[in-house]
C-alpha cells in the first residue's frame, strides 16, 4: 500500500531512466544503483516508466518489473509515481492495478494517442483508470502525445481521484490559471526542464523531468531559490541548465546522460533501439564540449561537470 499522501509529492522528481544492459534486458543492479544515487542526492520522488524511462519500448511485464525493482529499492524513502499510459484503457488499468498492489503512491498517464481521440474518449480514458484503484491520478499534458484543452483539464479535475497534472509546455500562464481556478490542492508539475523556474514562478508544486537524472542538484537549487524569492540565483541556475540541455538535445540525450552518469561512477546502462548508444570516441567529444561550456560560463556546483 502507498505510504505518502499526494500532497507530499512536491519538489524535484526525476522522470527515472530505465537501466538496460547491452543486450537490452533490464539491468536490475544498475536500476537499483541509479535509484539509490538519486535518493541519496536528495530528490523528492521518482516518476517511473514514462517517456524518459522508455516505457513505450517495453512490454507490460517489463514495465511491471521496473516498478517492482524501484519500489523495493526506494523502500519508502520517497514517493513513487508510476506512468501507466498505453493507447488502450484495458492495459493502462492493468498497470495501474499492479502499481497499487506493489505500493506505488500515485499513477499518471499521457492521454491515449495515435488515433484521433476526441475529448470524450480522453475523459473516459482517465475516468476509467482513476476509478480502477484508490491511487491519485496525475493527468499529463504533453504535445508529443496530445495537448489537453484547458476546459478539458477542468473537467478531468472533477473526477474524484484526479489530483493533479504534469504540464509539459513552453508557455506557463496556464499553470497560474489552473492553480487559480482549481485551487491549491490540485497539484501542477512543470514538465519542461528548460522552463523549470518559469513553471515554479507560475505556481507549479513540483518539477518532473529527464535531466533531473543527471543533475538533480542544479534543479534542487532552482527549486530552493524560487521558494526563497532569490530570483537572481534562479535565473543563473536556469540559464546554466538551458546551456547544458541545448547542447545535449542535439543527440540521443538519454544515451548521453547515461555516459555522463558514468563519470560519477553510476551505472546507467544503455538505451533501447532505435535510440543510439555512443562509443568511446563520442564520449570523449561530449566531455570536451561540456568542459568548454563549464569553462566559458564558469559553471559551478554541477557534479557531472566537476567529474570531467
Task: State the binding site for pyruvate.
Answer: 52, 208
List Cβ neighbours of 293 (8 Å cut-off, separation of 6 or more). 243, 244, 247, 299, 305
Q: Interior CA angle at 28 toward 85 and 11, to 5°?
A: 55
Q: CB 211: neighbour CB atoms within 10 A?
A: 23
- Active-site entry in 127, 166, 179, 294: 166
223 is annotated as an active-site residue: no
The upper half-sphere exposure of residue 26, i.e. CA atoms within 13 Å in the direction of its Cβ, equals 24
Cα–Cα distance measured from residue 12 to residue 219, given in angstroms and rounded to the nearest whole number: 7
Tell whether omega for the bond before 148 is within 30 degrees of 0, i.e. cis: no
| Phi, psi angle pair for 5, to nearest 5° | -75, 150
140 is annotated as an active-site residue: yes
- Grid cell locating 110: 499521457
Cα–Cα distance measured from residue 261 to residue 269, given in angstroms and rounded to the nearest whole number: 9
Cα–Cα distance measured from residue 10 to residue 29, given in angstroms and rounded to the nearest whole number: 27
- Active-site entry in 123, 140, 212, 254: 140
Q: Give which of 120, 110, 66 is closest to 88, Cα–Cα.
A: 110
Residues with catalytic function: 140, 166
Amino acid at each position: 500500500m502507498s505510504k505518502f499522501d499526494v500532497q507530499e509529492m512536491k519538489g524535484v522528481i526525476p522522470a527515472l531512466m530505465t537501466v538496460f544492459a547491452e543486450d537490452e534486458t533490464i539491468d536490475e543492479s544498475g536500476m537499483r544503483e541509479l535509484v539509490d544515487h538519486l535518493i541519496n542526492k536528495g530528490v523528492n520522488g521518482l516518476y517511473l516508466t514514462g517517456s524518459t524511462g522508455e516505457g513505450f519500448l517495453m512490454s507490460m511485464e517489463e514495465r511491471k518489473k521496473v516498478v517492482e525493482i524501484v519500489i523495493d529499492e526506494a523502500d519508502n524513502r520517497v514517493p513513487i509515481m508510476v506512468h501507466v499510459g498505453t493507447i488502450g484503457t484495458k492495459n493502462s488499468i492493468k498497470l495501474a492495478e499492479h502499481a497499487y498492489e506493489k505500493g506505488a503512491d500515485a499513477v499518471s498517464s499521457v492521454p491515449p494517442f495515435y488515433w484521433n481521440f476526441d475529448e470524450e474518449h480522453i475523459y473516459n480514458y482517465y475516468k476509467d483508470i482513476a476509478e480502477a484503484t484508490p491511487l491519485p491520478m496525475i493527468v499529463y499534458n504533453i504535445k508529443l502525445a496530445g495537448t489537453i484543452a484547458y476546459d478539458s483539464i477542468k473537467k478531468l479535475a472533477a473526477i474524484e481521484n484526479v489530483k493533479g497534472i504534469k504540464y509539459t509546455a513552453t508557455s506557463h500562464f496556464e499553470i497560474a490559471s489552473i492553480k487559480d481556478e482549481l485551487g491549491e490542492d490540485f497539484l501542477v508539475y512543470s514538465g519542461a526542464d528548460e522552463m523549470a523556474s518559469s513553471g515554479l514562478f507560475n505556481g507549479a508544486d513540483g518539477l518532473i523531468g529527464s535531466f533531473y537524472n543527471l543533475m538533480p542538484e542544479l534543479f534542487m537549487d532552482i527549486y530552493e531559490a524560487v521558494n526563497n524569492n532569490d530570483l537572481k540565483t534562479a535565473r543563473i541556475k536556469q540559464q546554466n541548465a538551458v546551456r547544458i540541455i541545448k547542447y545535449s538535445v542535439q543527440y540521443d540525450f538519454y544515451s548521453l546522460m547515461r555516459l555522463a552518469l558514468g563519470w560519477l561512477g553510476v551505472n546507467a546502462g544503455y538505451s533501447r533501439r532505435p535510440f543510439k548508444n555512443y562509443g568511446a570516441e563520442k564520449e570523449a567529444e561530449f566531455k570536451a564540449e561540456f568542459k568548454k561550456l563549464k569553462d566559458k560560463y564558469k559553471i559551478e556546483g554541477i557534479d557531472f561537470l566537476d567529474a570531467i
